[in-house]
Structure 1
Amino acid sequence: MTASPMLPFDDRGFAYGDGVFETVLLRDGEPILWDYHRARLRRGCEVLGIPMPSDAALEATWHTADPGERLPQQEVLKIVLTRGSGGRGYAPPLTPFPRLLSHRMPFTPNFSRWSEGIHVCICDLRLAQQPRLAGIKHLNRLENVLARREWQREDIAEGLLADQQNNVVEATSMNVFWQQDGAFWTPPLTQCGVAGTLREALLSHKLIAVAPLPLSELCRIERLWVGNSVQGIWPVVALVTHDGQVQKRWTRPTSDVLQAAGHRLLGFAA
């Protein structure tokens, strides 16, 4: 396992998206929901056939050389693992030498989106279905890039992505949650989509359950949220078209049980 700040031209992650990554919230230099991030990284390595980095190598990505160094209270750590170099064309090397890279930067949540809620649109792009890749956070995110290009309005914070059968799967960079009949739900991710670590934690604590959400039912649900393990949970207050025309509004209540539960898991103050 090699660590390098530079990516050579023949790296397979650069050439083919042959690798996985994690985006981790650090608080006072320590990773939040790390067990879930490590588990997803391991699943991705197993699917792609890339050796899993040692715990020591992963921990080195957030440990500092100076234990007395003053760190930002909150940071974002991005870990990228590629298969490394070698092989011929798409054929991977028989003995891979993975390349582990990382970068960290200070982070401040968008508090206004927590309190005021956001507008979302429905993306025209439909996600391809590939069960072998479903759930993992592999390096080929071109669908998300194309979907994010669909709107430029600053008042639209996220776009919802559906599959080939017009079932809601996720947002461009977040998972989707909704409330119906007093219960909290999230779409299944067996065919496509990324299994976010905050979503996994909410499922593990039995705070949400899995159910399909057809686009045709979206305007009938009681409430809607998007969220991930870095930004926390944003309540959706309006579904809009790409040009900002409102299709559906949801009331923002004074008490948000799902957001409070998710933010406790992330260590955000209530």
Structure 2
Amino acid sequence: MTSSLPLEDRGLAYGDGLFETVLLNDGQPRLWDEHLARLVRGCHALGIPMPAEHDLAAPLAEAPRGLAVLKLVVTRGSGGRGYCPPRDPEPRLAWQVSAFSPAVDAWRQGVRVRHCRLRLGIQPLLAGIKHLGRLENVLARAEWSDPQVAEGLVCDSDGVLVEATAMNLFWQRDGRLETPCLDRCGVAGTLRAALLERLAIDEVAAKPEALLDAEAVWVGNSVQGVWPLVRLDDSDGHMLASWRLGKMHRALQAEAQALLGYPLAEH
């Protein structure tokens, strides 16, 4: 286990690896089983040996009191020739623990979100896992600098809704909770996985227009929790829709807050 990676590591050279970002509260990980399950899926998809669970949990002993975030990085290690991976990889595990404060105002007041111009490439072999090659997300996030805009929504190359740049997407339409199906691209978040187990949420293929018919829309992840949308803009910053926060917004949020150990958002 290491807190850094050498320059010849394949994770640095090619994005040949995976990562997990875990919320800690007094050293206790939230949604730990979901994080481990996604890491197992990612290691299987990339053909990287899964680290031992006790190695993955070792950084927890060094976590500070209060809220923190643990970032775990698993790479294929060094070796191989060019893109050709080594036959018997020796993976590396790197990690970092940082103090953290959630965006409480976003829980309570909701957020403004915009559509991004960038389109995600479709690659089912990598769909759902949290691999290191996240340049698409970086470029999408670089599309705006307005601090009033909290997130950006991205579609795949066929124009189907996938996710936000760093969060999953949910909405309620005709009384039904829905979230994009992530079988072609995108990151299947651990909070999303936990909510799918507990609530009746349909995984659907939908175009952006679906959000205009939604009674409520949210973005969320396992670190920040769930943020309700109060405004949706197009990629030029023009408002497409707005929502007044109500009980339906708080219901999904309450489930997420409980899973993460956060207090309920104020009405």
TM bracket, shorter-chain basis: over 0.9
Q: Distance in 1 between matches of 2:260 and 2:186?
A: 22
> SS in structure 2 opposite 1:210?
strand
One-letter amino acid of the structure 1 residue matched with residue 261 of structure 2:
G
Partners of 2:219 and 2:227 within 8 A in 1: yes
Q: Percent identity at matched positions?
A: 52
How many equivalent pairs are there?
263
Aligned 8 A contact 1:153 1:243 in 2: no
Structure 1 residues 136-145 or 232-241, which shifts more?
A: 232-241
Q: Report the equivalent of 1:262.
A: 256
44, 54, 59: which is aligned to 1:61? 59
Query: Which structure carries more helix by proportion?
Result: 2
Match of 1:33 in 2: 31
Partner of 2:144: 151
Q: Which runs of 5+ in 1 are unaligned?
A: none
Partner SS, residue 10 of structure 1: coil
- The residue aligned with 2:179 is 186
Farther-moved stretch of structure 1 (242-251 vs 93-102): 242-251
Task: Quote the offset at 1:243 in angstroms.
Answer: 5.0
Residue number in structure 2 paired with 1:134:
127
Q: Does 1:19 align with 2:17?
A: yes
Q: SS at 2:125's partner residue? A: coil
Q: 2:201 aligns with which of 173, 196, 208?
A: 208
1:85 and 1:139 mapped to 2: Cα distance?
15
Bigger mean CA offset, 207-216 vs 20-29:
207-216
CA distance in 2, matches of 1:206, 1:109: 24
Query: How high is the TM-score relative to the length of structure 1?
Result: 0.94
**Distance in 2 separating the partners of 1:215 and 1:183:** 17
Q: Which amino acid aligns with 1:147?
A: A
The alignment yields a C-alpha RMSD, in angstroms, of 1.3
- Is the 1:26–1:75 Cα contact (8 Å) retained in structure 2? yes
- Tell me the equivalent position of 1:125: 118
Which residue of structure 1 lines up, in the alignment, with residue 170 of structure 2? Answer: 177
Local SS of the residue matching 2:143: coil
Cα deviation digits, residues 43-88 of structure 1 (max 9, x gap): 0000000000001101102123xxxx9x331110000000000010
Residue 253 (structure 1) aligned to one of 242, 246, 256: 246
The more displaced of 248-257 and 258-267 is: 248-257
Q: What amino acid is the match of 1:164?
A: S
Q: How far apart are the structure 2 equivalents of 1:187 and 1:161? A: 11
Provide the C-alpha distance between the structure 2 equivalents of 1:177 and 1:241, rounded to a whole number of angstroms.
18
Gap regions ≥5 residues in structure 2? none
User: Counterparts of 1:75 and 1:207 in 2: how far apart (Å)?
Assistant: 30
Q: TM-score, normalised by structure 2?
A: 0.95
3-state secondary structure, aligned to 1:50? coil
8 Å contact from structure 2 (residues 170, 178) kept in 1 = yes
Distance in 2 separating the partners of 1:104 and 1:86 = 28
